[in-house]
Chain A
Amino acid sequence: MEWSAPAIVLSARDFGEADRIACVLSAEHGAWRGLVRGGAGRRHGGTWQAGNLLAARWVARLSDQLGGLSGELVHPAAALAMDSALTSALLAAACALADAALPEREPHPRVFAGLFALVSRLALGPPLLAELVRWELALLADLGYGLDLSACAQTGTNQDLRWVSPRTGRAVSDAAAGAWRAHLLPLPAFLREEAAADTAAGDAAQWRDGLRLTGHFLARDVFGAQHRPLPPARTLLYERVDAIARDEQASIAHA
């Protein structure tokens, strides 16, 4: 049994002194684990960093065996992200989510395509957070917990959608929200269908709202069902973006 495909490293943990057990995500095969011989060594250590895009190959005698993974580095996303606290946090959060949320050996081509777009455009910096939120929405949808942000759950209108119900995951217009606003999750402008090109990337407050929105449903539906918390990397990313948003708001108020 064997396959070869472009794959993104989601995680790699030490196994013995020289080897690692890695999990990679490919379009055709989904999240797939395998033993990387020499993966913890000096020669291959840099290859098996979360976020790196590889030309991966998996080989086993039987399909239900762990098998062996090998790979050649195609795009060193981990190394490119390391200098920036926000970019490295974003990359780690995306990889941790995919690693923990996706069932093994089940293809999720849309999730792979979204993650591929993220790791290949890390140079964009903070605006990539909007892409991450959209990718998390796609991840939720692929796992069967998609949100309906197309129309107001109460009135059916697709105008002035500003909120999301934390219970149903459906959008709510500002007019229909009424006194329930305090109980609803803000819908960031970059996720609204009518979002103009200049608001498509959003700002720090919107990224925080977007991460809060997807984080709520990931924690409740994906990880809550497994009695697990959100991956620490995702929590750290939210805290970092929240701090940036608060700094921005404070500087605006000061000005």
Chain B
Amino acid sequence: MGGPEVEALIALLAKLPGLGPRSARRAALRLLQDPEGRMVALAAALEAARRAVHPCSRCGNLDSRDPCAICADPARDGSVLCVVESVSDLWALERSGVHRGRYHVLGGLLSPLGGLRPEDLSLAPLLARIAEGGVAEVIVALAATVDGAATGHWLSDRLRPFGVAVTRLAHGVPVGGSLEILDDGTLATALRARRPL
């Protein structure tokens, strides 16, 4: 169907997150039906991104500048550093617009049951940034999972000698969420993290 070039295009698109073989076929068809309008522009954008975008040498964010726009922004609060697992988490926090400090991308989570080990994470650059001074608080913004908790505790131990405040995101009732649909674990952590009203 369409020759090996089309099959190769569908196979490559199907490897992207959110796309299965069926949706990859639809995307490929849409591109092929308008090669000049969509395909050339997409190919050019892909090539430009490949050439220009690299991990930021300070925080690990993906940007065409180094240091990235966030690290280079003087309006950012350099005393608050938010540690995230991946660039997608960084982008999610940036979308919300609530964090005005800087970031550090850890590059994964420690897996106590196997998998990533401490040496696989981007810890040394984080410690170097804190050792430079000026950081008063590190926010550990990791997943509310066993791996996220293990990584958070491990990170907290490593940061203790620097004397910076280490905080983590709250776990609990999501905004717009009703109590009756929450699982027992979320309810228990929400109850323990209650605050005066």
Contact = CB atoms under 8 A, between A and B. Distances in A.
B188 A80 contact: yes
A125 interface: no
A130 B185 CA distance: 25
A47 interface: yes
8 contacts: A17-B18, A76-B183, A76-B185, A76-B186, A80-B188, A92-B112, A231-B114, A232-B117
A76 B185 CA distance: 5
Interface string B150-194: 100110110000000000000100000000000111101100100
B97 interface: no
A76 B183 CA distance: 8
B30 to A, nearest CB: 22
Given A78-B146, A88-B153, A83 B113 contact: no
B185 A88 contact: no
B183 A88 contact: no
A82 B146 contact: yes
B11 interface: no
B145 interface: yes
A73 B185 contact: yes
A177 interface: no
A96 B113 CA distance: 5
A78 B113 contact: no
B9 interface: no
Contacts, number: 86
Contacts of B183: 46-47, 73, 76
A99 B157 contact: no
A45 interface: yes
**Residue among A50, A82, A89, A93 having the largest count of chain B Cβ atoms under 10 Å:** A82
Interface string A78-94: 11111101001101110
Given A233-B113, A233-B150, 10 more contacts: A47-B183, A49-B185, A50-B146, A78-B146, A79-B184, A82-B149, A88-B146, A93-B112, A231-B113, A232-B111
B156 A82 contact: no
A236 B114 CA distance: 12
B74 interface: no
Contact of A88 (B113, B150, B184, B189): B150
Nearest to B145: A49
Given A45-B145, A78-B146, A232 B114 contact: yes
Contacts of B110: 232
A10 B113 CA distance: 9
A142 B36 CA distance: 68
A79 B112 contact: no
Contacts of A10: 113
A169 interface: no
B146 A92 contact: yes
Interface in A54-99: 73, 75-76, 78-83, 85, 88-89, 91-93, 95-96, 99
Contact of A73 (B145, B157, B184): B184
A34 interface: no
A11 interface: yes
B21 to A, nearest CB: 12
A91 to B, nearest CB: 8
A50 B113 CA distance: 9
Interface in B50-95: none
